[in-house]
Amino acid sequence: MTTLPHLLQHAYQTVPDKTSIILQFAGQEDKKITYRDLIHGANRYAMTYAKHGIKKGEVIILILQHGEDLIYSFWGAILHGAIPSIMPFLTEKLAPEKYRADLASLISITKPTTIVTYPEFENEIRSALVEGDSVKNIILTSALAEDGEASKINYAAVPQGGFAQDGGLSISPEDIVVLQHSSGTTGLQKGVALSHRAVLNQLNSYSKILQIDNQKDVIVSWLPLYHDMGFIACFIMPVILQIPLVLMSPFDWVRAPL
């Protein structure tokens, strides 16, 4: 069995100009992301992770809104061999004090070494940190590897690696690929570790039941990526199985669903 980075590499090598994701924003033009764009954008994050000394198997928490940075930072972690975990962004519906407390609790449980967020949200993140916790890096979206650096690698010419210095292609199907959090309905949210094998088994089973044809079908979603359905069925599955994905902001959709 293969792994998620191997399947991304295959997509890049076989259909680099195929549209993978169409991002939609209220009142703005759609943003198309091809597999070429996806790999190059993800590699900027992967190279940034490498520069910060982040190693294979370390947890990276992503606190970002709907957009390219969330997508690229996630897949960059996958390509680097780190373990990404998407967490909700603070909104007007969440009390800041509770948000900070929940974030501090999750940090104590999941032991991330790194948090990725926006420059304007850095102080909010730091206010949730406590002395002696696991977080060593706060990576800001404004401080990424330059495009020129990230485009030096000839991906198609490297059969066993090359996406990043450490290389997610060296991992095994039994390695953990993502850390997904429970909803917290019965108590504090818990991190659920999912292996490449487990995720790919779910994708294969689910896509067969739906009888999805990646040459004809399109998936449209407004579900948050930190929820199971939005994350697995409406983000990882279409990207990995080369099914075009139209991804809307859940908040835009809730405000104006029609």
Q: What is the distance between the alpha carbons of residues 165 and 50, in angstroms, rounded to a whole number?
A: 6
3-class DSSP assignment, residue 254: helix
Backbone φ and ψ for 177, nearest 5 degrees, come out as -110, -35
CATH code of the domain in which 168 resides: 3.40.50.12780
Q: What is the pLDDT of residue 145?
A: 65
Q: What is the pLDDT of residue 186?
A: 43
DSSP secondary structure string, 60-85?
A: EEE---SSHHHHHHHHHHHHHT-EEE
Please give the structure tokens belonging to residue 110: 């999941």
Q: Which domain holds residue 14?
A: 4-255
Instruction: Say which DSSP state 113 is in.
Output: S
Q: What is the pLDDT of residue 164?
A: 47
| pTM confidence score | 0.90
Question: CA torsion, points 198, 199, 204, 209, in degrees to nearest 10?
Answer: 100
Strands (E), the chain: 19-24, 31-34, 59-62, 83-86, 114-117, 137-140, 176-181, 191-195, 219-221, 245-248
Residue 75: burial class (beta carbons within 10 Å; 0-12, 13-18, 19+): buried
| Antiparallel, parallel or unpaired: β 59-62 and 114-117 | parallel
Q: What is the mean pLDDT of each run of 10 residues along the chain (258 residues)?
A: 90 97 93 97 95 95 96 97 93 84 89 96 92 93 70 48 60 93 56 92 94 95 91 96 95 71
Residue 240: burial class (beta carbons within 10 Å; 0-12, 13-18, 19+): buried
Find tokens 């487990």 and name the residue. 198
| Antiparallel, parallel or unpaired: β 114-117 and 176-181 | unpaired
Based on the structure, what is the number of domains in the chain? 1
Q: What is the pLDDT of residue 238?
A: 98
Instruction: Say which DSSP state 137 is in.
Output: E
